[in-house]
Amino acid sequence: MSRLPLHVLTGFLGSGKTTLLNRLLRDPAMADSAVLINEIGDVAIDHHLVDRVQSEDGVETIVLAGGCTCCVVRGDMVAALKALHARRAEGRVPPFARVVLETTGLADPAPILFTLAADPVLRHRFERGLVVTAVDAVHGADQMRRFPEARRQVALADRIVVTKRDIADAATLQARLAALNPAADLAGPADDLLAAHAAFVADPLARLGRAGPFLPALPVPAEAEHTADIAAVVLTRATPIDWAAFGVWLSLLLHAHGERILRLKALLDVEGWPAPVALHGVHHLVHPPQHLERWPAGIAGSRIVLIGERLDGAAMQSSLDRFLAG
């Protein structure tokens, strides 16, 4: 049985993620989706309700007019996901092809990703999808400066959607977002809905293999400071790397700094492989490598993006070079 992708829609308080979600739910192409809402009271979906599935497990399940299944989570997310999957298997809700989890405005997405990988039942039923972060063009810069939760939501994102651009100039904010998370795909001025929809509907592994969104094609400074505590570090290697040696180096790095490494993305030129190997991880957790079909245009050599707290990019680059040389 194939696993279902679990996507995470996050964003700080007032970022507009619920508005974005409501617009997505009206799209017929999202009808084969299930949505978990981990927020109560401000989700404007009542006028779409056509059926309510009664339950005794604390998970309120709703089937929307377009066929999308929606759950309001009042307790444990693990229990909600297991209950939702069971109802799908029993035919009590329409069959869905993906799950979108909307977090609370103060949530850190990292524990969600850890839970998905650590729970023995969930990891056989769901696979990690994409983290999509909504950032408010009006207040986003100030929120990122003041609140570590907002910075972590951006640092862990695969795609960043800047909302409320009709009432604020987002150019400066987008530059700061790119500096904090150069590995994220930043939605352009006119495509927030289309891009978010495409991200949720697309196969996450196929999406991972695209060149531009995965890693920046243009040179990035070795260490791009964004705030006093979180920065993006880009490590490079021009010659092919030995996979075994790199694995040992990465294990040592995560053992020493894993708690401070919020996000890892890498495109690697591995000895003996004609196409790149893609890696991504959160803290100590690294997902299985993905062998891509071909090298993307404009990218050559290995490139590793680390986003974390108080990372020394120069020391990490030196460590990588010495380890692979030896």
Give per-residue pLDDT as tens, 141-193: 988 988 888 998 999 888 898 888 877 788 889 888 988 888 888 865 445 55
How far, in Å, CA of 244 to CA of 250, rounded? 10
Are the C-beta atoms of residues 160 and 133 closer than 8 Å to each other? yes
Looking at the chain, the whole-number percentage of residues with pLDDT higher than 90 is: 15
**Closest listed residue to residue 155, CA positions, set 259, 231, 90:** 231
pLDDT of residue 248: 94
The span from the CA of 265 to the CA of 248, in Å, is 17
Helix segments in the chain, DSSP class H: 17-25, 77-90, 109-118, 122-125, 140-146, 148-155, 171-180, 192-201, 204-208, 211-214, 243-257, 313-325
Q: Which stretch of 68-82, 211-225, 279-293 has the lowest confidence by average pLDDT?
A: 211-225
- The phi and psi torsions of 87 (rounded to 5 degrees) equal -65, -35
Question: Using an 8 Å Cβ cutoff, are 25 and 64 in contact?
Answer: yes
pLDDT value, residue 42: 43
Q: In terms of Cα–Cα distance, which of 221, 216, 233, 206 is closest to 294?
A: 206
Mean pLDDT of the chain: 76
Helix (H, G, I), strand (E, B) or coil at 120: coil
Q: How far is CA 181 from CA 39, 230, 233, 264, in A?
A: 26, 10, 9, 10
The more confident residue out of 121 and 287 is: 121
CA trace torsion 99, 104, 106, 112 (10° rounding)? -30
Is residue 33 a contact partner of residue 97, using CB atoms and an 8 Å limit? yes
* Range from 27-31, 82-86, 173-177, 289-293 carrying the lowest mean pLDDT: 27-31
Largest CA distance in the chain: 64
Contact criterion met (CB below 8 Å) for 5 and 98: yes
DSSP percent split of the chain into helix, strand, coil, nearest 5? 35, 30, 35
CA distances from 39 to 35, 234, 297 (A): 12, 35, 41
| Cα(129)–Cα(207) distance, integer angstroms | 10
What pLDDT is stored for residue 41 in this prediction?
A: 40
The pLDDT of residue 318: 94
250-306 tens-digit pLDDT: 999 998 887 788 778 888 999 999 988 988 787 777 878 888 888 877 677 898 988
Which has the closest alpha carbon to 44: 11, 19, 27? Answer: 19
pLDDT category, 101, cuts 50, 70, 90?
confident
CA dist., res. 72 & res. 94, Å (int)? 17
**Beta strands at 230-237 and 302-309: parallel, antiparallel or unpaired:** antiparallel
Helix axes 171-180, 148-155, angle to 10 degrees: 70
**What pLDDT, on a 0 to 100 scale, did the predictor assign at position 194?**
56
Predicted confidence at residue 178, as pLDDT, reads 87
Question: How sure is the predictor about 207, in pLDDT bands with cuts at 50, 70 and 90?
Answer: very low
> Is the sign of the CA dihedral 256, 259, 260, 261 positive or negative?
positive
Average pLDDT for 56-78:
59
Q: How far apart are CA 102 and CA 113, in angstroms?
A: 13
Residue in the structure block whose two tokens are 């929809």: 197
To which H or E segment does residue 35 belong? strand 33-37
Q: Which domains does the chain have, with CATH numbers?
A: 4-208 (3.40.50.300), 223-325 (3.30.1220.10)
Other Cβ atoms closer than 10 A to 90: 8
